[in-house]
Amino acid sequence: MTDPDWWRSAIIYQVYPRSCQDSDGDGLGDLPGITRRLPHIAALGVDAVWISPFFRSPMADMGYDISDYCDVDPLFGTLADFDALIEEAHRLGIRIVIDQVLSHSSDQHAWFRESRSSRTNPKADWYVWADPKPDGTAPNNWLSIFGGPAWEWDGVRMQYYMHSFLASQPDINLHEPEVQAALLDTIRFWLDRGVDGFRLDAVNHYFHDAKLRDNPPRKPSDDAHDVPETNPYGFQEHLHDKTQPENLAFLKQLRGVLDGYPGRIALGEVGDGDRSPATVDAYTSNNRLHSCYTFDLFGPEFDPDHFRKVFAKFGAAAEEGRVCWSFSNHDVVRHVSRWALPGDDPAAIARLAINLLVSLKGPVCLYQGEELGLPEADLAFEDLRDPYGIRFWPAFKGRDGCRTPMPWEAAAANAGFSTGKPWLPIPDAHRAAAVDAQSVDPASILAAYRTAIALRRSHPALASGAIRFLEAPADIFAFEREGSGEHLLCVFNFARTPICWNGVDLPALGWARKLM
Protein backbone atom coordinates (compact mmCIF):
# COMPACT_ATOMS: atom_id res chain seq x y z
CA MET A 1 0.00 0.00 0.00
CA THR A 2 3.04 2.32 0.11
CA ASP A 3 4.37 1.83 -3.44
CA PRO A 4 3.82 5.08 -5.43
CA ASP A 5 4.09 3.13 -8.70
CA TRP A 6 1.46 0.53 -7.76
CA TRP A 7 -0.75 1.66 -10.63
CA ARG A 8 1.72 0.54 -13.34
CA SER A 9 0.72 -3.11 -12.98
CA ALA A 10 -2.55 -2.64 -11.10
CA ILE A 11 -5.63 -4.78 -11.53
CA ILE A 12 -8.60 -2.53 -10.82
CA TYR A 13 -12.08 -3.96 -10.23
CA GLN A 14 -14.99 -1.70 -11.20
CA VAL A 15 -18.03 -1.73 -8.92
CA TYR A 16 -21.33 -0.35 -10.22
CA PRO A 17 -22.92 0.66 -6.88
CA ARG A 18 -26.57 0.23 -7.90
CA SER A 19 -25.92 -3.38 -8.80
CA CYS A 20 -23.35 -4.64 -6.31
CA GLN A 21 -25.29 -5.40 -3.10
CA ASP A 22 -28.40 -3.90 -1.52
CA SER A 23 -28.21 -3.65 2.29
CA ASP A 24 -31.57 -2.07 3.09
CA GLY A 25 -34.11 -3.82 0.82
CA ASP A 26 -34.93 -0.92 -1.48
CA GLY A 27 -33.74 -2.81 -4.58
CA LEU A 28 -30.70 -0.58 -5.12
CA GLY A 29 -27.13 -1.43 -4.21
CA ASP A 30 -25.41 0.87 -1.73
CA LEU A 31 -22.13 1.60 0.03
CA PRO A 32 -22.72 -0.74 3.00
CA GLY A 33 -23.47 -3.42 0.41
CA ILE A 34 -20.11 -2.84 -1.28
CA THR A 35 -18.38 -3.06 2.10
CA ARG A 36 -20.10 -6.37 2.74
CA ARG A 37 -18.81 -7.79 -0.55
CA LEU A 38 -15.22 -6.55 -0.30
CA PRO A 39 -13.99 -10.01 0.81
CA HIS A 40 -15.12 -11.44 -2.54
CA ILE A 41 -13.20 -8.72 -4.37
CA ALA A 42 -10.15 -9.18 -2.16
CA ALA A 43 -10.22 -12.94 -2.87
CA LEU A 44 -9.81 -12.17 -6.57
CA GLY A 45 -6.42 -10.67 -5.78
CA VAL A 46 -7.05 -7.21 -7.25
CA ASP A 47 -5.17 -4.08 -6.19
CA ALA A 48 -7.98 -1.53 -6.22
CA VAL A 49 -11.72 -0.99 -6.54
CA TRP A 50 -13.10 1.72 -8.82
CA ILE A 51 -16.55 2.79 -7.61
CA SER A 52 -18.87 4.45 -10.13
CA PRO A 53 -20.61 7.66 -8.91
CA PHE A 54 -22.42 7.59 -5.57
CA PHE A 55 -22.66 11.37 -5.08
CA ARG A 56 -25.89 13.32 -4.57
CA SER A 57 -27.78 13.28 -7.85
CA PRO A 58 -31.29 13.34 -9.33
CA MET A 59 -30.15 10.13 -11.09
CA ALA A 60 -31.22 11.17 -14.58
CA ASP A 61 -28.06 9.40 -15.81
CA MET A 62 -27.62 6.95 -12.94
CA GLY A 63 -25.39 9.26 -10.90
CA TYR A 64 -23.28 10.74 -13.68
CA ASP A 65 -25.36 13.89 -13.19
CA ILE A 66 -23.96 15.19 -9.91
CA SER A 67 -25.79 17.78 -7.81
CA ASP A 68 -23.26 17.80 -4.92
CA TYR A 69 -19.65 16.70 -5.44
CA CYS A 70 -18.95 16.44 -1.71
CA ASP A 71 -21.76 14.29 -0.38
CA VAL A 72 -23.18 10.79 -0.76
CA ASP A 73 -26.65 10.38 -2.23
CA PRO A 74 -29.06 8.95 0.38
CA LEU A 75 -29.83 6.11 -2.06
CA PHE A 76 -26.29 4.87 -1.44
CA GLY A 77 -25.85 5.79 2.22
CA THR A 78 -23.89 8.46 4.06
CA LEU A 79 -20.40 9.90 4.28
CA ALA A 80 -19.94 7.74 7.38
CA ASP A 81 -20.77 4.68 5.25
CA PHE A 82 -18.12 5.75 2.75
CA ASP A 83 -15.55 6.23 5.50
CA ALA A 84 -16.34 2.73 6.77
CA LEU A 85 -15.91 1.34 3.25
CA ILE A 86 -12.50 3.02 2.91
CA GLU A 87 -11.38 1.69 6.28
CA GLU A 88 -12.41 -1.90 5.50
CA ALA A 89 -10.92 -1.80 2.00
CA HIS A 90 -7.58 -0.59 3.32
CA ARG A 91 -7.66 -3.24 6.04
CA LEU A 92 -7.99 -5.82 3.28
CA GLY A 93 -5.15 -4.27 1.28
CA ILE A 94 -7.43 -2.80 -1.40
CA ARG A 95 -7.20 0.77 -2.63
CA ILE A 96 -10.32 2.79 -3.47
CA VAL A 97 -10.59 4.76 -6.72
CA ILE A 98 -13.74 6.84 -7.21
CA ASP A 99 -15.40 8.21 -10.32
CA GLN A 100 -15.20 11.96 -10.71
CA VAL A 101 -17.30 13.76 -13.33
CA LEU A 102 -15.74 17.16 -13.94
CA SER A 103 -16.94 17.92 -17.46
CA HIS A 104 -20.58 18.48 -16.49
CA SER A 105 -22.93 18.49 -13.52
CA SER A 106 -26.63 18.08 -12.92
CA ASP A 107 -28.87 21.03 -13.69
CA GLN A 108 -29.90 20.69 -10.03
CA HIS A 109 -26.40 21.59 -8.80
CA ALA A 110 -26.32 24.84 -6.83
CA TRP A 111 -23.68 26.17 -9.22
CA PHE A 112 -25.95 25.80 -12.23
CA ARG A 113 -29.01 27.15 -10.44
CA GLU A 114 -27.10 30.32 -9.71
CA SER A 115 -25.52 30.46 -13.16
CA ARG A 116 -28.87 30.31 -14.95
CA SER A 117 -30.50 32.92 -12.72
CA SER A 118 -29.02 35.88 -14.65
CA ARG A 119 -26.17 36.94 -16.91
CA THR A 120 -24.51 38.97 -14.15
CA ASN A 121 -24.45 36.68 -11.10
CA PRO A 122 -21.07 35.55 -9.65
CA LYS A 123 -21.35 32.16 -11.38
CA ALA A 124 -22.80 33.42 -14.64
CA ASP A 125 -19.83 32.06 -16.61
CA TRP A 126 -19.40 28.78 -14.72
CA TYR A 127 -21.26 26.93 -17.50
CA VAL A 128 -21.10 27.15 -21.29
CA TRP A 129 -23.68 29.76 -22.34
CA ALA A 130 -24.07 31.25 -25.83
CA ASP A 131 -26.44 33.52 -27.68
CA PRO A 132 -28.66 32.09 -30.41
CA LYS A 133 -28.10 32.74 -34.06
CA PRO A 134 -30.20 35.61 -35.46
CA ASP A 135 -32.90 33.11 -36.46
CA GLY A 136 -33.10 31.73 -32.90
CA THR A 137 -31.39 28.43 -33.64
CA ALA A 138 -28.49 26.92 -31.65
CA PRO A 139 -25.09 28.65 -31.71
CA ASN A 140 -23.45 25.91 -33.80
CA ASN A 141 -23.85 22.34 -35.06
CA TRP A 142 -22.50 20.49 -32.02
CA LEU A 143 -24.38 17.33 -31.09
CA SER A 144 -25.16 15.57 -27.83
CA ILE A 145 -23.88 12.00 -27.37
CA PHE A 146 -27.35 11.14 -26.09
CA GLY A 147 -29.08 12.43 -29.22
CA GLY A 148 -30.04 15.79 -30.73
CA PRO A 149 -28.28 19.16 -30.50
CA ALA A 150 -25.79 19.82 -27.71
CA TRP A 151 -27.67 23.01 -26.85
CA GLU A 152 -30.71 23.66 -24.66
CA TRP A 153 -32.62 26.94 -24.59
CA ASP A 154 -33.06 28.72 -21.25
CA GLY A 155 -35.84 31.30 -21.10
CA VAL A 156 -34.46 33.12 -18.05
CA ARG A 157 -31.09 34.02 -19.52
CA MET A 158 -32.46 34.00 -23.07
CA GLN A 159 -29.42 31.94 -24.08
CA TYR A 160 -28.51 28.38 -24.91
CA TYR A 161 -26.39 26.24 -22.62
CA MET A 162 -24.19 23.39 -23.84
CA HIS A 163 -24.75 19.76 -22.82
CA SER A 164 -22.61 17.00 -24.30
CA PHE A 165 -24.90 14.42 -22.73
CA LEU A 166 -28.46 14.88 -21.39
CA ALA A 167 -30.07 18.32 -21.37
CA SER A 168 -30.11 17.95 -17.58
CA GLN A 169 -26.29 17.62 -17.62
CA PRO A 170 -24.98 21.11 -18.50
CA ASP A 171 -21.32 21.36 -19.44
CA ILE A 172 -19.11 23.16 -16.93
CA ASN A 173 -16.98 26.00 -18.30
CA LEU A 174 -13.43 25.07 -17.35
CA HIS A 175 -12.09 28.09 -19.22
CA GLU A 176 -12.88 29.98 -15.98
CA PRO A 177 -10.04 29.79 -13.40
CA GLU A 178 -12.54 29.96 -10.51
CA VAL A 179 -14.28 26.89 -11.88
CA GLN A 180 -11.02 24.98 -12.09
CA ALA A 181 -10.21 25.91 -8.49
CA ALA A 182 -13.64 24.81 -7.29
CA LEU A 183 -13.37 21.45 -9.07
CA LEU A 184 -9.89 20.83 -7.67
CA ASP A 185 -11.26 21.53 -4.20
CA THR A 186 -13.72 18.65 -4.68
CA ILE A 187 -10.75 16.43 -5.52
CA ARG A 188 -9.03 17.47 -2.28
CA PHE A 189 -12.21 16.74 -0.31
CA TRP A 190 -12.11 13.06 -1.25
CA LEU A 191 -8.33 12.78 -1.00
CA ASP A 192 -8.60 14.02 2.58
CA ARG A 193 -11.13 11.24 3.23
CA GLY A 194 -8.56 8.67 2.14
CA VAL A 195 -9.37 7.78 -1.48
CA ASP A 196 -6.46 6.41 -3.47
CA GLY A 197 -7.33 7.86 -6.84
CA PHE A 198 -9.89 8.95 -9.39
CA ARG A 199 -11.32 7.55 -12.56
CA LEU A 200 -12.00 10.69 -14.59
CA ASP A 201 -15.16 10.41 -16.64
CA ALA A 202 -15.08 11.88 -20.17
CA VAL A 203 -11.68 13.46 -19.45
CA ASN A 204 -11.31 14.86 -22.97
CA HIS A 205 -14.63 16.74 -22.66
CA TYR A 206 -13.34 19.24 -20.10
CA PHE A 207 -12.82 22.10 -22.56
CA HIS A 208 -14.66 23.33 -25.64
CA ASP A 209 -13.55 25.65 -28.41
CA ALA A 210 -14.04 29.16 -27.04
CA LYS A 211 -14.92 30.39 -30.55
CA LEU A 212 -17.75 27.81 -30.83
CA ARG A 213 -16.73 26.80 -34.35
CA ASP A 214 -18.79 24.16 -36.17
CA ASN A 215 -17.51 20.59 -36.30
CA PRO A 216 -16.77 19.26 -39.82
CA PRO A 217 -18.36 16.05 -41.11
CA ARG A 218 -16.59 12.84 -40.17
CA LYS A 219 -14.55 11.23 -42.90
CA PRO A 220 -16.04 7.86 -43.94
CA SER A 221 -12.81 6.05 -43.01
CA ASP A 222 -12.76 7.33 -39.44
CA ASP A 223 -13.49 5.00 -36.55
CA ALA A 224 -16.09 5.78 -33.89
CA HIS A 225 -16.46 2.84 -31.50
CA ASP A 226 -17.62 5.18 -28.74
CA VAL A 227 -21.10 5.64 -30.27
CA PRO A 228 -23.62 3.26 -31.80
CA GLU A 229 -24.10 3.46 -35.55
CA THR A 230 -27.65 4.73 -35.03
CA ASN A 231 -26.41 7.88 -33.30
CA PRO A 232 -25.83 10.96 -35.48
CA TYR A 233 -23.10 12.05 -33.06
CA GLY A 234 -20.79 9.76 -35.00
CA PHE A 235 -21.38 11.70 -38.21
CA GLN A 236 -19.13 14.57 -37.06
CA GLU A 237 -15.41 14.90 -36.56
CA HIS A 238 -15.34 16.34 -33.06
CA LEU A 239 -12.59 18.89 -33.51
CA HIS A 240 -14.09 21.72 -31.48
CA ASP A 241 -16.49 20.39 -28.83
CA LYS A 242 -13.87 18.29 -26.97
CA THR A 243 -10.14 17.42 -26.74
CA GLN A 244 -8.97 21.03 -26.69
CA PRO A 245 -5.33 22.01 -26.01
CA GLU A 246 -6.27 23.94 -22.87
CA ASN A 247 -6.95 20.63 -21.16
CA LEU A 248 -3.24 19.84 -20.92
CA ALA A 249 -2.55 22.66 -18.46
CA PHE A 250 -5.54 21.73 -16.33
CA LEU A 251 -4.50 18.08 -16.15
CA LYS A 252 -1.08 19.20 -14.94
CA GLN A 253 -2.79 21.22 -12.20
CA LEU A 254 -4.83 18.17 -11.26
CA ARG A 255 -1.69 16.02 -11.12
CA GLY A 256 -0.09 18.63 -8.89
CA VAL A 257 -2.92 18.20 -6.39
CA LEU A 258 -2.57 14.41 -6.48
CA ASP A 259 1.19 14.58 -6.02
CA GLY A 260 0.56 16.25 -2.67
CA TYR A 261 -0.96 12.94 -1.56
CA PRO A 262 1.67 10.25 -2.26
CA GLY A 263 0.49 7.15 -4.08
CA ARG A 264 -2.76 8.67 -5.41
CA ILE A 265 -3.55 8.21 -9.11
CA ALA A 266 -5.68 9.58 -11.94
CA LEU A 267 -7.10 7.23 -14.59
CA GLY A 268 -8.75 8.98 -17.53
CA GLU A 269 -11.50 7.82 -19.87
CA VAL A 270 -10.81 8.91 -23.45
CA GLY A 271 -13.52 8.47 -26.05
CA ASP A 272 -11.96 10.10 -29.06
CA GLY A 273 -12.20 7.86 -32.12
CA ASP A 274 -9.11 7.85 -34.31
CA ARG A 275 -7.46 10.58 -32.22
CA SER A 276 -7.36 8.38 -29.09
CA PRO A 277 -3.68 7.34 -29.30
CA ALA A 278 -2.47 10.93 -29.64
CA THR A 279 -4.83 12.07 -26.88
CA VAL A 280 -3.75 9.32 -24.49
CA ASP A 281 -0.08 10.05 -25.17
CA ALA A 282 -0.56 13.77 -24.49
CA TYR A 283 -2.71 13.24 -21.41
CA THR A 284 -0.35 10.75 -19.73
CA SER A 285 2.98 12.40 -20.54
CA ASN A 286 4.80 15.30 -18.89
CA ASN A 287 3.41 14.72 -15.41
CA ARG A 288 -0.29 14.75 -16.21
CA LEU A 289 -2.52 11.69 -15.75
CA HIS A 290 -1.03 8.38 -14.73
CA SER A 291 -2.97 6.29 -17.25
CA CYS A 292 -5.93 6.38 -19.65
CA TYR A 293 -8.21 3.83 -21.24
CA THR A 294 -10.07 4.11 -24.52
CA PHE A 295 -12.89 2.38 -26.38
CA ASP A 296 -10.60 0.52 -28.79
CA LEU A 297 -11.17 -2.89 -27.19
CA PHE A 298 -14.87 -2.35 -26.50
CA GLY A 299 -15.98 -3.19 -30.04
CA PRO A 300 -17.03 -6.45 -31.70
CA GLU A 301 -13.57 -7.24 -33.09
CA PHE A 302 -12.03 -10.31 -31.47
CA ASP A 303 -9.05 -11.41 -33.50
CA PRO A 304 -5.24 -11.13 -33.27
CA ASP A 305 -4.98 -8.63 -36.10
CA HIS A 306 -7.21 -6.15 -34.29
CA PHE A 307 -5.28 -6.53 -31.04
CA ARG A 308 -1.95 -6.09 -32.81
CA LYS A 309 -3.17 -2.92 -34.53
CA VAL A 310 -4.51 -1.44 -31.30
CA PHE A 311 -1.29 -2.02 -29.39
CA ALA A 312 0.84 -0.78 -32.28
CA LYS A 313 -1.02 2.49 -32.68
CA PHE A 314 -0.58 3.44 -29.00
CA GLY A 315 3.18 3.13 -29.39
CA ALA A 316 5.27 4.50 -26.52
CA ALA A 317 2.27 5.03 -24.23
CA ALA A 318 1.49 1.32 -24.34
CA GLU A 319 5.14 0.27 -24.06
CA GLU A 320 5.56 2.47 -20.98
CA GLY A 321 2.41 1.15 -19.29
CA ARG A 322 0.42 4.36 -19.61
CA VAL A 323 -2.52 2.66 -21.33
CA CYS A 324 -5.05 0.86 -19.13
CA TRP A 325 -6.55 -2.19 -20.84
CA SER A 326 -10.11 -3.45 -20.35
CA PHE A 327 -12.64 -5.45 -22.30
CA SER A 328 -15.89 -4.50 -20.52
CA ASN A 329 -17.36 -1.77 -18.35
CA HIS A 330 -20.72 -0.21 -17.46
CA ASP A 331 -21.13 1.42 -20.88
CA VAL A 332 -20.68 -1.50 -23.30
CA VAL A 333 -22.09 -4.96 -24.05
CA ARG A 334 -20.33 -7.57 -21.90
CA HIS A 335 -17.43 -9.05 -23.84
CA VAL A 336 -18.46 -12.70 -23.58
CA SER A 337 -21.60 -11.76 -25.52
CA ARG A 338 -19.88 -9.28 -27.81
CA TRP A 339 -17.19 -11.70 -28.94
CA ALA A 340 -18.88 -15.11 -28.96
CA LEU A 341 -19.80 -16.49 -32.39
CA PRO A 342 -22.79 -18.81 -32.91
CA GLY A 343 -21.85 -22.17 -31.43
CA ASP A 344 -19.08 -20.76 -29.21
CA ASP A 345 -18.83 -21.61 -25.54
CA PRO A 346 -18.91 -18.17 -23.79
CA ALA A 347 -16.93 -19.69 -20.92
CA ALA A 348 -14.03 -20.33 -23.30
CA ILE A 349 -14.15 -16.67 -24.38
CA ALA A 350 -14.12 -15.60 -20.73
CA ARG A 351 -11.09 -17.73 -19.89
CA LEU A 352 -9.13 -16.65 -22.95
CA ALA A 353 -9.95 -12.99 -22.26
CA ILE A 354 -8.75 -12.88 -18.66
CA ASN A 355 -5.57 -14.77 -19.44
CA LEU A 356 -4.83 -12.36 -22.28
CA LEU A 357 -5.67 -9.31 -20.18
CA VAL A 358 -3.36 -10.17 -17.28
CA SER A 359 -0.52 -10.89 -19.72
CA LEU A 360 -0.52 -7.38 -21.19
CA LYS A 361 1.72 -4.55 -20.06
CA GLY A 362 0.12 -1.81 -17.99
CA PRO A 363 -2.81 -1.53 -15.60
CA VAL A 364 -6.03 -3.39 -16.37
CA CYS A 365 -9.66 -2.90 -15.36
CA LEU A 366 -12.17 -5.68 -14.68
CA TYR A 367 -15.89 -5.03 -14.61
CA GLN A 368 -18.16 -6.32 -11.88
CA GLY A 369 -19.59 -9.70 -12.90
CA GLU A 370 -17.13 -10.51 -15.65
CA GLU A 371 -15.32 -12.80 -13.20
CA LEU A 372 -18.50 -14.91 -13.33
CA GLY A 373 -18.60 -14.90 -17.13
CA LEU A 374 -21.94 -13.06 -17.06
CA PRO A 375 -23.47 -12.60 -20.52
CA GLU A 376 -25.29 -9.45 -21.58
CA ALA A 377 -28.84 -9.39 -20.19
CA ASP A 378 -31.59 -9.13 -22.81
CA LEU A 379 -34.13 -6.73 -21.28
CA ALA A 380 -37.60 -5.69 -22.37
CA PHE A 381 -38.15 -2.04 -23.24
CA GLU A 382 -40.38 -1.55 -20.18
CA ASP A 383 -37.50 -2.64 -17.93
CA LEU A 384 -35.00 -0.09 -19.28
CA ARG A 385 -33.70 2.65 -17.00
CA ASP A 386 -30.91 4.00 -19.21
CA PRO A 387 -31.94 7.25 -20.95
CA TYR A 388 -29.49 6.48 -23.76
CA GLY A 389 -31.20 3.18 -24.57
CA ILE A 390 -34.69 4.59 -24.21
CA ARG A 391 -33.78 7.38 -26.63
CA PHE A 392 -32.44 5.08 -29.38
CA TRP A 393 -34.59 1.96 -28.89
CA PRO A 394 -34.97 -0.41 -30.73
CA ALA A 395 -31.88 0.15 -32.90
CA PHE A 396 -29.75 0.50 -29.73
CA LYS A 397 -30.82 -1.19 -26.52
CA GLY A 398 -28.74 0.96 -24.22
CA ARG A 399 -26.43 0.03 -21.38
CA ASP A 400 -28.79 -1.63 -18.92
CA GLY A 401 -27.94 -5.10 -20.22
CA CYS A 402 -24.49 -4.89 -18.63
CA ARG A 403 -25.69 -3.17 -15.45
CA THR A 404 -28.01 -5.79 -13.97
CA PRO A 405 -27.44 -6.77 -10.30
CA MET A 406 -24.70 -9.15 -9.21
CA PRO A 407 -25.88 -12.71 -8.51
CA TRP A 408 -24.40 -13.73 -5.17
CA GLU A 409 -26.46 -16.76 -4.13
CA ALA A 410 -28.00 -19.07 -6.73
CA ALA A 411 -30.88 -20.31 -4.52
CA ALA A 412 -31.67 -17.06 -2.68
CA ALA A 413 -34.42 -14.59 -3.51
CA ASN A 414 -33.17 -12.14 -6.12
CA ALA A 415 -29.91 -14.14 -6.21
CA GLY A 416 -28.93 -12.67 -2.84
CA PHE A 417 -28.71 -9.13 -4.19
CA SER A 418 -31.71 -7.65 -2.36
CA THR A 419 -34.71 -8.55 -0.25
CA GLY A 420 -36.71 -6.06 -2.32
CA LYS A 421 -37.45 -5.85 -6.03
CA PRO A 422 -34.16 -5.22 -7.86
CA TRP A 423 -33.94 -2.03 -9.88
CA LEU A 424 -33.21 -4.15 -12.98
CA PRO A 425 -34.23 -7.79 -13.52
CA ILE A 426 -31.75 -10.58 -12.77
CA PRO A 427 -31.74 -13.11 -15.65
CA ASP A 428 -31.95 -16.83 -14.84
CA ALA A 429 -28.65 -17.37 -16.67
CA HIS A 430 -27.01 -14.99 -14.21
CA ARG A 431 -28.52 -16.72 -11.19
CA ALA A 432 -26.98 -20.02 -12.33
CA ALA A 433 -23.57 -18.30 -12.45
CA ALA A 434 -23.82 -16.93 -8.89
CA VAL A 435 -20.73 -16.41 -6.76
CA ASP A 436 -21.61 -19.11 -4.22
CA ALA A 437 -22.03 -21.73 -6.96
CA GLN A 438 -18.75 -20.86 -8.67
CA SER A 439 -16.73 -20.48 -5.47
CA VAL A 440 -16.89 -24.23 -4.79
CA ASP A 441 -16.14 -25.26 -8.37
CA PRO A 442 -12.42 -25.44 -9.22
CA ALA A 443 -13.31 -25.50 -12.93
CA SER A 444 -15.44 -22.33 -12.77
CA ILE A 445 -14.76 -19.05 -14.53
CA LEU A 446 -14.35 -17.43 -11.11
CA ALA A 447 -11.59 -19.92 -10.34
CA ALA A 448 -9.98 -19.11 -13.70
CA TYR A 449 -9.96 -15.39 -12.84
CA ARG A 450 -8.39 -16.00 -9.45
CA THR A 451 -5.73 -18.22 -11.02
CA ALA A 452 -4.93 -15.76 -13.82
CA ILE A 453 -4.61 -12.81 -11.43
CA ALA A 454 -2.41 -14.84 -9.09
CA LEU A 455 -0.22 -15.76 -12.09
CA ARG A 456 0.35 -12.09 -12.90
CA ARG A 457 1.33 -11.44 -9.31
CA SER A 458 3.75 -14.37 -9.25
CA HIS A 459 5.62 -13.41 -12.45
CA PRO A 460 7.50 -10.08 -12.34
CA ALA A 461 7.83 -10.20 -16.13
CA LEU A 462 4.01 -10.03 -16.46
CA ALA A 463 3.71 -7.29 -13.88
CA SER A 464 6.35 -4.90 -15.18
CA GLY A 465 8.50 -6.49 -17.88
CA ALA A 466 8.99 -5.30 -21.45
CA ILE A 467 6.63 -6.56 -24.14
CA ARG A 468 7.53 -7.61 -27.70
CA PHE A 469 4.94 -8.78 -30.21
CA LEU A 470 5.82 -11.67 -32.52
CA GLU A 471 4.94 -12.54 -36.10
CA ALA A 472 2.42 -15.39 -36.13
CA PRO A 473 -0.36 -16.93 -38.26
CA ALA A 474 -3.67 -15.12 -38.53
CA ASP A 475 -5.35 -16.89 -35.60
CA ILE A 476 -2.36 -16.67 -33.24
CA PHE A 477 -1.55 -13.72 -31.00
CA ALA A 478 1.93 -14.09 -29.55
CA PHE A 479 4.26 -11.88 -27.57
CA GLU A 480 7.15 -12.06 -25.13
CA ARG A 481 7.37 -10.47 -21.68
CA GLU A 482 10.81 -10.01 -20.20
CA GLY A 483 12.04 -8.46 -16.98
CA SER A 484 13.40 -9.10 -13.47
CA GLY A 485 15.33 -12.10 -14.76
CA GLU A 486 12.29 -13.72 -16.39
CA HIS A 487 11.53 -14.30 -20.07
CA LEU A 488 8.01 -15.51 -20.86
CA LEU A 489 6.42 -16.51 -24.16
CA CYS A 490 2.65 -15.88 -24.22
CA VAL A 491 0.61 -17.45 -27.02
CA PHE A 492 -3.15 -17.19 -27.60
CA ASN A 493 -5.20 -19.14 -30.13
CA PHE A 494 -8.28 -17.29 -31.36
CA ALA A 495 -9.25 -20.14 -33.71
CA ARG A 496 -12.17 -22.43 -32.97
CA THR A 497 -9.92 -25.44 -33.66
CA PRO A 498 -6.67 -26.64 -32.00
CA ILE A 499 -3.38 -25.35 -33.44
CA CYS A 500 0.27 -26.22 -32.98
CA TRP A 501 2.59 -23.21 -33.36
CA ASN A 502 6.37 -23.29 -32.89
CA GLY A 503 6.08 -26.53 -30.96
CA VAL A 504 3.35 -25.17 -28.66
CA ASP A 505 0.08 -27.14 -28.68
CA LEU A 506 -2.90 -24.82 -28.29
CA PRO A 507 -6.52 -25.93 -27.79
CA ALA A 508 -9.35 -24.09 -29.50
CA LEU A 509 -9.73 -20.62 -27.93
CA GLY A 510 -6.81 -21.58 -25.73
CA TRP A 511 -3.49 -20.22 -24.58
CA ALA A 512 -0.08 -21.21 -23.33
CA ARG A 513 2.79 -19.52 -21.52
CA LYS A 514 6.29 -20.87 -21.08
CA LEU A 515 9.55 -19.68 -19.65
CA MET A 516 12.20 -19.08 -22.27
Residues 201 and 95 in one domain: yes
Write the pLDDT tens digit of every residue in 302-329: 999 999 999 999 999 999 999 999 999 9
Residues 393 and 485 in one domain: no
Residues 253 and 322 in one domain: yes
Task: Give Cβ neighbours of residue 83 (< 8 Å, ≥ 6 apart).
Answer: 193, 194
What's the domain range around 500?
Answer: 463-515
Residue that finishes a domain, picked among 456, 491, 507: 456
Residues 61 and 94 in one domain: yes
Residues 355 and 499 in one domain: no
pLDDT of residue 226: 53
Number of Cβ within 10 Å of residue 25's Cβ equals 10
Task: Give Cβ neighbours of residue 303 (< 8 Å, ≥ 6 apart).
Answer: 474, 475, 494
Residues 467 and 451 in one domain: no
pLDDT of residue 225: 53
Residue that finishes a domain, picked among 430, 456, 482: 456
Residues 323 and 417 in one domain: yes
Residues 80 and 204 in one domain: yes
**Which stretches of the chain score pLDDT less than 50?**
224
Is 480 in the active site?
no
Whether residue 171 is contained in a domain is answered as no
Rounded CA separation 312/318 (Å): 8
Write the pLDDT tens digit of every residue in 239-293: 999 999 999 999 999 999 999 999 999 999 999 888 999 999 999 999 999 999 9
Rounded CA separation 221/225 (Å): 12
* Residue of 65, 107, 269, 281 with catalytic role: 269
pLDDT of residue 227: 60
- 276-284 helix and 246-259 helix, angle to the nearest 10 degrees: 40
Q: What is the pTM of this model?
A: 0.97
Rounded CA separation 9/362 (Å): 5
pLDDT of residue 1: 74
Helix (H, G, I), strand (E, B) or coil at 68: strand
pLDDT of residue 516: 86
Is 305 in the active site?
no
Residue that finishes a domain, picked among 419, 434, 456: 456
Residues 416 and 498 in one domain: no
Question: What CATH number is associated with residue 503?
Answer: 2.60.40.1180
Residues 99 and 58 in one domain: yes
pLDDT of residue 221: 60
Rounded CA separation 299/333 (Å): 9
Whether residue 131 is contained in a domain is answered as no
* Residue of 30, 107, 201, 241 with catalytic role: 201
Write the pLDDT tens digit of every residue in 376-411: 999 999 999 999 999 999 999 999 999 999 999 999
Write the pLDDT tens digit of every residue in 129-158: 999 999 999 999 999 999 999 999 999 999
Residues 467 and 390 in one domain: no
Residues 421 and 298 in one domain: yes
Question: What CATH number is associated with residue 82?
Answer: 3.20.20.80
